[in-house]
Amino acid sequence: MRFIDEVVITIISGNGGNGHSSFRREKYYPLGGPDGGDGGDGGCIYFQADNGLNTLATFRSKRVFKAEHGEDGRNSQMHGKYAEDLILKVPVGTIVRSTDVETGSGQVLADLTEHGQRILMAEGGRGGMGNIHFKSSVQQAPKTCTPGKEGQTIELDLELKLIADIALIGLPNAGKSTMISSISAARPKIADYPFTTLEPNLGVVDMGDECSFVVADIPGLIEDASEGKGLGVKFLKHIERTKAFVHLIDVSWCLNEFEAFEQYVTIREELRKFNEELLNKKELVCLTKIDAMTDEEIDKYVNFFEEQIDRKVLPVSSVSGRNISLLKSLMLKTFEDYKE
C-alpha cells in the first residue's frame, strides 16, 4: 500500500428526518387528535484512531464521506429511525485541520494520538417534530410539523505524523534501512544508491518479556532539506513525535574523521532549521558500515566524535551484527528513561 500522509476530504453528516403531520382516525376514538411522530436524527461522523493503520491511503481514492439521513416521522406517533453514525478510522498520529478560511484555515480540530481515541467531527441534523407537539387547549387539531435540520458539510485537511518511539536519521545511504531490518521484522527496500527509501518504515523491536518499542526509518535527509531540497520537509515532520533519535553516520567512504563529522553537523543543522526543539531530544550516535575498517581506524573516528560532541559514540555494523545487541539495549534504556 502506498504511503500517503496528507489528504483533503469533505465530510457530510446526515440530515434529520422531517416531522409528520397526521390525525388519529379510528372507530372507537371519535375525538381523534394529532398523532404525527418525530423525524429521526441524522448520522454523525466520527474519526477514530486505529494502530492497525499507518497511512491515509484509504482516503486517496474517495474524498467525500456522507452519513445517512434520519427517516421521516410517521402516523400513530411513530418516530423515524435514527441514522447510524459513520466512523472513519485513521492512523494513530493523524492531525485534523480546518480548511475554512472564515473559521481559521489550518486550525487544529483534533489530534488523534492514542489507539481507540474517537472524536465527533460533524454532528447529524436533529429530527423535526411531529404535529403532536403542537397540540394545546386552543389548538386541538394542529397541522404544524417541522422539517429536520440539515447536517454539516466540512472540508478537512488530514495530516499524518507517525508516532514512533525512536527515529533512525542520517544522510541518504547511511544504513538506516539495513539497520531497521536487522533489529526488527521490517523489510524495507535496500540498495546502494541514494534515496532508496522514499517513505517512512516502521519496525517493532522485540526485547522479550513483553517489552518492545517502535522504530521509524526516516528517508534520507540532505543539506537544505528544511527548505524543500531533496525530499524536503515531507518526512522531517515524522520525527517530531519521536522520543529519541539514532543518528547513523556512514564512515565507509570518508577519507578522514572530519568528513564524517560534517555529515553529523549537516543533519543537526537541518533539524535546527526545521524545529529547534528537536535538538533537545535524546540522541544515540552510531558510526555505520565499519566492516572494511581496522580497529585502529574505528577508534580514531570514535575518539574524534566523542571529543566533539562530548558523549559516547557507538560503531556498528548491521551486516556483521557488531554491537547491534548493545545498540538495542541502549535504545531500550533511552525509551524507558523517557517513560519515567
Cβ contacts of residue 165 below 8 Å, gap of 6+? 213, 214, 215, 242, 243, 244, 335, 338
* 34 annotated as belonging to a binding site for a ligand: no
| Chain centre to alpha carbon of residue 180 | 21
Burial of 221 (0-12, 13-18, 19+ CB in 10 A): buried
CA distances in angstroms from 302 to 169, 223, 265, listed in the order given: 18, 23, 15
Q: Which residue has the cell 541514494?
A: 194
> Any binding-site annotation on 219?
yes
187/185 Cα distance (integer angstroms): 6
Q: Are 336 and 330 spatial neighbours (Cβ–Cβ below 8 Å)?
A: no
Annotated binding residue at 176? Answer: yes
339: which residues sit within 8 A by CB, 6+ positions away?
A: none
Q: Is position 142 annotated in a ligand binding site?
A: no
Question: What are the backbone dihedrals phi and psi of residue 313, each rounded to the nearest 5 degrees, phi first?
Answer: -125, 135
Query: Binding site annotation covers 288?
Result: yes
Please, are residues 47 and 194 in contact by the beta-carbon 8 Å criterion? no
Cell numbers 551486516 label which residue? 319
Contact 10, 154 (CB under 8 A): yes
CA 303 centroid distance within chain: 40
Confirm or deny that 175 is annotated as ligand binding.
yes
Instruction: For residue 178, give the C-alpha cell.
Output: 539495513
At 273 the three-state DSSP class reads helix
| 153 is annotated as contributing to ligand binding | no
On whether 104 is known to bind a ligand per the annotation, the reply is no
Q: Is 27 annotated as a binding residue?
A: no
61 labeled binding residue: no
Residue 184 annotated as binding site: no
170 is in an annotated binding site: yes
Is position 290 annotated in a ligand binding site?
yes
The reply, when asked if residue 3 is annotated as ligand binding, is: no
10 Å CB burial of residue 340 (0-12, 13-18, 19+) is: exposed
Ranges assigned E (strand) in 25-163: 45-50, 64-66, 86-91, 94-98, 108-112, 118-122, 153-160
Binding site for Mg(2+): what residues are annotated? 177, 197
Binding site: what residues are annotated? 170-177, 195-199, 217-220, 288-291, 317-319
Binding site for GTP: what residues are annotated? 170-177, 195-199, 217-220, 288-291, 317-319
